[in-house]
Chain A
Amino acid sequence: MRRQIPFALVFIFGTFMVFQYFVPHETSEWIYEYLLDWIAIIGIFALALGIWSFYKVSVDKIKDKNEDWPYSVISLSGLFVMIFFGFTARTGESWGFYFPALLILTAGLGMFTMAYTETSSSKSKTSAMIGLGLIVVFVIISIMDNSWNFYFYTQEGLKNIAFISFFEHIMIPIQATMFSLLAFFISSAAYRAFRARNLLSSILLIAALIVMLRFNPYLGPVSGLMADGADWLINVPNLAAKRAIIIGIGLGIVATSLKVLLGIERSYMGKG
Chain B
Amino acid sequence: MRIKYSFLLALFLLLIPFSALIFGQDGAAASGETESADSLALTLPAPVTNLKAINTPNDHGHSFTVTWDISADDGGGLKNVLFYRVMRSDNPDSSFKQRGENKLPRGASTYQDNGSKRKESDDFSADFTDFYYRIDAITIDSNVFSSSGIYGPVQSKGEWYNTGRTPVLVAVIIFLILTMIFVALAKKGADLYIRPLAGIEAVDDAIGRATEMGKPILYILGLGGADQIATIASFTILSRVAKQVAEYQTKLIVPCYDPIVMTVAQDIVKSSFMDAGRVDDYKEESVYFVTQSQFAYVAAVNGTMLRELPATNMYMGKFYAESLILAETGALAGSIQISGTDEIAQIPFFVVACDYTLIGEELYAASAYLGKEPILLGSLKGQDMAKAAIIVLMIIGVVTANIGGETLENFRELFKVIN
Pairwise interchain contact B347-A245, C-beta atoms closer than 8 A: yes
List, in ascending order, chain A residues with CB within 8 A of B183's CB. Answer: 264
Across the interface, name the chain B residue whose C-beta is closest to A261: B176
**Does B105 lie at the interface of the complex (its beta carbon under 8 Å from any beta carbon of A)?**
no
Residue-wise interface mask of A (28-68) relative to B, using a CB-CB cutoff of 8 A (1 in contact, 0 not): 11000000000100110011111101101100100000011
A193–B375 Cα gap in the complex (Å)?
A: 39
Pairwise interchain contact B344-A270, C-beta atoms closer than 8 A: no
**Choice from B61, B264, B290, B376 contacting A265 with Cβ under 8 Å:** B376
Pairwise interchain contact B160-A255, C-beta atoms closer than 8 A: no
**Does A251 lie at the interface of the complex (its beta carbon under 8 Å from any beta carbon of B)?**
yes
Residue-wise interface mask of B (124-149) relative to A, using a CB-CB cutoff of 8 A (1 in contact, 0 not): 00010000000000000000000000
Within the complex, what minimum Cβ distance (angstroms) separates A73 from chain B? 15
Given A254-B175, A269-B267, answer yes or no on A53-B262 (Cβ-Cβ < 8 Å).
yes
Within the complex, what minimum Cβ distance (angstroms) separates A137 from chain B? 31
Within the complex, what minimum Cβ distance (angstroms) separates A5 from chain B? 15
List, in ascending order, chain A residues with CB within 8 A of B239's CB. Answer: 267-268, 270, 272
Pairwise interchain contact B371-A252, C-beta atoms closer than 8 A: no
Across the interface, name the chain A residue whose C-beta is closest to B351: A193
Pairwise interchain contact A264-B376, C-beta atoms closer than 8 A: yes
Residue-wise interface mask of B (235-276) relative to A, using a CB-CB cutoff of 8 A (1 in contact, 0 not): 110111001000000000000101110111001101110010
Pairwise interchain contact B321-A182, C-beta atoms closer than 8 A: yes
**Does B314 lie at the interface of the complex (its beta carbon under 8 Å from any beta carbon of A)?**
no
| Number of A-B pairs, beta carbon distance below 8 Å | 206
Given A49-B263, A252-B360, answer yes or no on A178-B162 (Cβ-Cβ < 8 Å).
no
Q: Tally B residues with Cβ within 8 Å of A.
A: 87
List, in ascending order, chain A residues with CB within 8 A of B259's CB. Answer: 43, 46-51, 53
Residue among A54, A189, A265, A267 with the highest chain B CB neighbour number at 10 A: A267
A49–B284 Cα gap in the complex (Å)?
A: 12
Q: Interface majority SS on B: helix, strand, loop or mixed?
A: helix
Pairwise interchain contact A272-B59, C-beta atoms closer than 8 A: no
Pairwise interchain contact B61-A270, C-beta atoms closer than 8 A: no
**Does A169 lie at the interface of the complex (its beta carbon under 8 Å from any beta carbon of B)?**
no
Counting contact residues on chain A (CB < 8 A from B), the size range is 35 or more
**Choice from B160, B359, B365 contacting A23 with Cβ under 8 Å:** B160
A26–B367 Cα gap in the complex (Å)?
A: 38
Pairwise interchain contact B117-A26, C-beta atoms closer than 8 A: yes
Across the interface, name the chain A residue whose C-beta is closest to B166: A22
Residue-wise interface mask of B (191-235) relative to A, using a CB-CB cutoff of 8 A (1 in contact, 0 not): 000000000000000000000000000000000010101001101
Pairwise interchain contact B379-A56, C-beta atoms closer than 8 A: no
Residue-wise interface mask of A (173-201) relative to B, using a CB-CB cutoff of 8 A (1 in contact, 0 not): 01100110110011011101100000000
Pairwise interchain contact B379-A264, C-beta atoms closer than 8 A: yes
Within the complex, what minimum Cβ distance (angstroms) separates B205 from chain A? 20
Pairwise interchain contact A179-B361, C-beta atoms closer than 8 A: no
A252–B359 Cα gap in the complex (Å)?
A: 11
Given A53-B262, A249-B361, answer yes or no on A265-B367 (Cβ-Cβ < 8 Å).
yes
Stretch at the interface among B78-86, B381-389, B397-405: B381-389
Pairwise interchain contact B268-A270, C-beta atoms closer than 8 A: yes
List, in ascending order, chain B residues with CB within 8 A of A23's CB. Answer: 160-162
Pairwise interchain contact A258-B235, C-beta atoms closer than 8 A: no
Pairwise interchain contact A251-B158, C-beta atoms closer than 8 A: no
A207–B158 Cα gap in the complex (Å)?
A: 51
Pairwise interchain contact A178-B298, C-beta atoms closer than 8 A: yes
Pairwise interchain contact A57-B236, C-beta atoms closer than 8 A: no
Pairwise interchain contact A189-B324, C-beta atoms closer than 8 A: yes
Pairwise interchain contact A256-B233, C-beta atoms closer than 8 A: yes
Pairwise interchain contact B243-A252, C-beta atoms closer than 8 A: no
Residue-wise interface mask of A (215-228) relative to B, using a CB-CB cutoff of 8 A (1 in contact, 0 not): 00000000000000
Pairwise interchain contact A22-B161, C-beta atoms closer than 8 A: yes
**Does A246 lie at the interface of the complex (its beta carbon under 8 Å from any beta carbon of B)?**
yes
Across the interface, name the chain B residue whose C-beta is closest to A48: B259
List, in ascending order, chain A residues with CB within 8 A of B360's CB. Answer: 245-246, 248-249, 252
Pairwise interchain contact A253-B229, C-beta atoms closer than 8 A: yes
List, in ascending order, chain B residues with CB within 8 A of A188's CB. Answer: 328
List, in ascending order, chain B residues with CB within 8 A of A71's CB. Answer: 303
Across the interface, name the chain A residue whose C-beta is closest to B287: A53
List, in ascending order, chain A residues with CB within 8 A of B232's CB. Answer: 256, 260, 265, 268
**Does B150 lie at the interface of the complex (its beta carbon under 8 Å from any beta carbon of A)?**
no
Pairwise interchain contact B324-A186, C-beta atoms closer than 8 A: yes
A108–B177 Cα gap in the complex (Å)?
A: 63
**Does B353 lie at the interface of the complex (its beta carbon under 8 Å from any beta carbon of A)?**
yes
List, in ascending order, chain B residues with CB within 8 A of A255's CB. Answer: 175, 179, 364, 379-380, 382-383, 386
Residue-wise interface mask of B (284-306) relative to A, using a CB-CB cutoff of 8 A (1 in contact, 0 not): 01001111111110110001000
**Choice from B270, B285, B293, B380 contacting A60 with Cβ under 8 Å:** B285
**Choice from A174, A192, A246, A252 contacting B344 with Cβ under 8 Å:** A246
Pairwise interchain contact A50-B271, C-beta atoms closer than 8 A: no
**Does B165 lie at the interface of the complex (its beta carbon under 8 Å from any beta carbon of A)?**
yes
Pairwise interchain contact B296-A175, C-beta atoms closer than 8 A: yes
A48–B272 Cα gap in the complex (Å)?
A: 25
Given A245-B360, A272-B243, answer yes or no on A251-B386 (Cβ-Cβ < 8 Å).
yes
Residue-wise interface mask of B (75-107) relative to A, using a CB-CB cutoff of 8 A (1 in contact, 0 not): 000000000000000000000000000000000
List, in ascending order, chain A residues with CB within 8 A of B367's CB. Answer: 265, 267
Pairwise interchain contact B382-A39, C-beta atoms closer than 8 A: no
**Choice from B262, B267, B325, B380 contacting A270 with Cβ under 8 Å:** B267
The 9 A-B residue pairs with the shortest CB-CB distance, nearest first, are A50-B259, A270-B271, A252-B361, A50-B289, A252-B364, A178-B295, A248-B361, A267-B239, A46-B259
Q: List 12 other contacts, CB 8 Å, given A248-B387, A270-B264.
A: A46-B258, A46-B259, A71-B303, A178-B325, A182-B325, A185-B324, A245-B344, A248-B360, A251-B386, A251-B387, A259-B376, A272-B271
Question: What are 8 A-B interface contacts by the 8 Å CB criterion?
Answer: A24-B159, A25-B60, A26-B117, A67-B307, A252-B229, A256-B229, A257-B229, A259-B379
User: Chain B interface (Cβ within 8 Å of chain A)?
Assistant: 58-62, 117, 127, 158-162, 165, 168-169, 172, 175-176, 179, 183, 225, 227, 229, 232-233, 235-236, 238-240, 243, 256, 258-260, 262-264, 267-268, 270-272, 275, 285, 288-296, 298-299, 303, 307, 321, 324-325, 328, 342, 344, 347-349, 351-353, 359-361, 363-365, 367, 371, 375-376, 379-380, 382-383, 386-387, 390
